[in-house]
Amino acid sequence: MTTIAPHLLGNYAPVPDEITVTELPVTGAIPPELSGWYLRNGPNPHEAASAHWFLGDGMVHGVRLEHGTAVSYRNRWVRTTTFTHGAPLRDDQGNVDLTAGVANTHVVRHAGRTLALVESSYPYELDCRAGHELETIGAYDFDGRLRTPMTAHPKTCPVTGELHFFGYGGPSAPYLTYHRADNRGELTISRPVDVSAATMMHDFQLTAGHVVFMDLPALYDRTRAGAGMPYVWAPDHGARLGVLRRDRPYAEVRWFTIDPCYVFHTLGAYEESDGERLILHAIRHDRLGDGVDINGRTALWRWTLDLVAGTVREEQLDDSRAEFPRIDDRLTGLPHRYGHASTANGPDGGAIHRYDLRDGTVTSHRFGPGRAPGEAAFVPADDTPGGPGWLMTYVYDAATDRSDLVILDADDLTAPPVATVHLPRRVPAGFHGNWLADV
């Protein structure tokens, strides 16, 4: 009997085609000041089934809002060279083609460019202009300056407008390179970081004065290459956090040992005591299973790094099995009080949680049985960082086998949704996205 992989069943299964539907029905009222795109990326194999959920071709799902109306929904595959020509990331001789890949993990905007990201390859630029919505422009390598893959979790400094990111991967050193692009999109810094092995580094963080890397025990295993995710859990490798001063980008990275764990996604980081302490919040996995299957508990944790004493304190803050944490991105690297994360399934259906990092309380919006939210992006309601806003997320309804775009009041998660945009089909379970307001 043939067994179908879990990432090809239910709402993980791909949708078969691209569609465009206009004039979407809405329950509630879309805030009239919202004009732009809500975009979310995720894997959607277009021909043969992928060997792992993480490896499917990228598909971006977008809802266009204008002045209180839901103008359209469209979904488009990212036309990478892997999608169009079957180009492999590595050929039989081991040569790497960084334009190959699936671009399936995130969508961000920097210096006027909308980029679809995956951590194994170059970004791919998308066209969001009227009449060209979500068409693929092509691979983007910062005018030839980028020579490594690009993480799917870059950080934009709200003070300088600089984009901080890294590249990792490959069977030989340097296993990690730190990059920085200015607010015009020019790549200005690329420096190797000395790490002892090829680990899977999915995310990192930024503070006002530092960059924080995570060297965790998910090790590259070349024997698994081509047959799924080529990483294995290796707790004997150890786990550590690396700190680099932003004003000395070529200086030595200072490492702090922590208990073995894995972090796919950080919530945020900031400084206290004039930069003497760094605070990092993230969703901690106690371990990973073979092939990077999640196998263990997840919860929100805090790491406090004392740069004077050279110590680190680790604390669990909540026991909700949550993932996909987000903050108001205008507070990236700066002190922030609130963060959010999602739980896809639970006794009362999925939920979005709002963490008050100051008083330790958690408020949740529960969607009801059979309704599963994805990542929720914060959408500002005014020009005040950390001020009022909304949370946007796609929510899958198992009863109808369709999805909605749900808009919640971030300051009152216990209230009914502000608006629910009813989509013509389901949006498969995916990864990350953003609200891209018209500028």
Q: What are phi and psi of 21, to 5 degrees?
A: -130, 135
Q: How far is CA 4 from CA 12, 41, 292, in A?
A: 12, 23, 18
Pairing of strands 351-356, 176-181: unpaired
* Cβ contact 39:394 at 8 Å: no
pTM of the entire predicted model:
0.96
281 has which bridge partners?
Answer: 268, 302
Q: How many helices (H) and strands (E) does the chain have?
A: 1, 33
Question: One digit per residue, pLDDT tens: the chain, 439 residues?
Answer: 567 888 889 999 999 999 999 999 999 999 999 999 999 999 999 887 788 889 999 999 999 999 999 999 999 999 999 999 999 888 877 788 999 999 999 999 999 999 999 999 999 999 998 877 899 999 999 999 999 999 999 999 999 999 999 999 877 889 999 999 999 999 999 999 999 999 999 999 999 999 999 999 999 988 777 667 889 999 999 999 999 999 999 999 999 999 999 999 999 999 999 999 999 999 999 988 765 555 457 999 999 999 999 999 999 999 888 999 999 999 999 999 999 999 988 778 899 999 999 999 999 999 999 999 999 999 999 999 999 999 999 999 999 999 999 999 999 999 999 999 999 999 999 999 999 999 8
* Cβ contact 208:273 at 8 Å: no
Handedness of CA 339, 342, 348, 349 (dihedral sign): positive
Distance separating alpha carbons of residues 208 and 155, to the nearest angstrom: 12
- Look at residues 86, 81, 74 and name the one whose alpha carbon lies nearest to residue 47: 86
Cis ω before 174 (30° cut-off from 0):
yes
Residue 90 carries which DSSP code?
A: B
* Cβ contact 80:124 at 8 Å: yes
Residue recorded with tokens 């909540």: 318
Distance separating alpha carbons of residues 439 and 431, to the nearest angstrom: 25
Residue type, 47: E
3-state helix, strand, coil in the chain (%, to 5): 5, 45, 50
The strands making up 124-127's β-sheet, listed across from edge to edge, are 106-110, 113-117, 124-127, 135-139
Residue recorded with tokens 């998308």: 126
Tokens of 159: 């003070």
* Cβ contact 419:408 at 8 Å: no
